[in-house]
Amino acid sequence: MGTHNQIERIIDIALEEDVARGDRTTELIIPANMGGSAAIIAREDAVVAGGEIARIALLKVDQSLEVKMEIQDGNPAKAGEVVMVITGRVTSILKAERVILNFLSHLSGVATLTARYVEKVKDLGVKIGDTRKTLPGLRLLEKYAVYAAGGQNNRPDLASGILIKDNHLVAMAAKGISISEGIAKAKAGANGMKVEIEVQNLEQLKQAVDGKPDIIMLDNMSLDDIREAVKTVPTTISLEASGGITLENVREVAEAGVDLISVGAITHSARGVNFSLDFVTGRPAAQE
């Protein structure tokens, strides 16, 4: 399934769970031909993401709505700034309100947290990357928010890259397959994809280096061990640090000399950003 179709499906599911059976309150008290304009306002400083998703959702509810983005995805918004203006049928805007605010809140939360990590290391030439630790069903949109905020997208699914992880190593050891042998097997069938292996200590690191993978992930390793890895691993092998990364220690990890730092928290633990939808004008709309 293509990216566009995946996005459409995510939006359809969100609309289905909220308005598939209608909006009893709005339908009972708001005239169907009433028109107006509403502004979506950031209630706190944030990096915006999800505006385009909100636009698609609005037009799925009512193709006649006019949607104007005042702040594009990936750009900062100050508290009180207008992010989007929607003009058209009031009933349609109200039906879409919670869905579009949910998308904006969550995706802007991901973008805002990503931007904070990126800012911490921006002068060090180190990339901040995401992981597969995403909310079920929302991975594509969360990775879009990471990218919009200046982060790097790592593999979107298990078929998009080769990463030998800790449980692979356990299973390999049970069958008598060494780390270097496992890397060789992966490289033989990689079909052009890079081969990455996760290690948790310096002994595993040494064995991994012997297998000459493209990337070694240093998982939950101490700063001293990360520094030792940077000194001993050939520059032909990229180094990724992951596990236990916080805003407080990310710069120290970057200064140790790794190439990439992957942070699961930017997707699975991002706090939602507060947005509100406020009607700003009222005007008659043409009778249908």
Cα distance between residue 184 and residue 167, in whole Å: 17
In the residue annotation, 165 being an active-site residue is answered as yes
Catalytic residue among 73, 97, 142, 198: 198
In the residue annotation, 142 being an active-site residue is answered as no
Cα distance between residue 70 and residue 101, in whole Å: 15
In the residue annotation, 219 being an active-site residue is answered as yes
Catalytic residue among 78, 165, 271, 283: 165
Catalytic residue among 60, 98, 132, 185: 98
Catalytic residue among 60, 116, 132, 133: 133
In the residue annotation, 133 being an active-site residue is answered as yes
Element of type H or E holding 285:
none
DSSP string, 79-124: TT-EEEEEEEEHHHHHHHHHHHHHHHHHHHHHHHHHHHHHHHHTTT
Cα distance between residue 153 and residue 121, in whole Å: 17
Are the beta carbons of 276 and 120 closer than 8 angstroms? Answer: no
Count, in order, helices (H) and strands (E) of the chain: 11, 12
Catalytic residue among 97, 142, 219, 240: 219
In the residue annotation, 60 being an active-site residue is answered as no
Catalytic machinery residues: 98, 133, 165, 198, 219
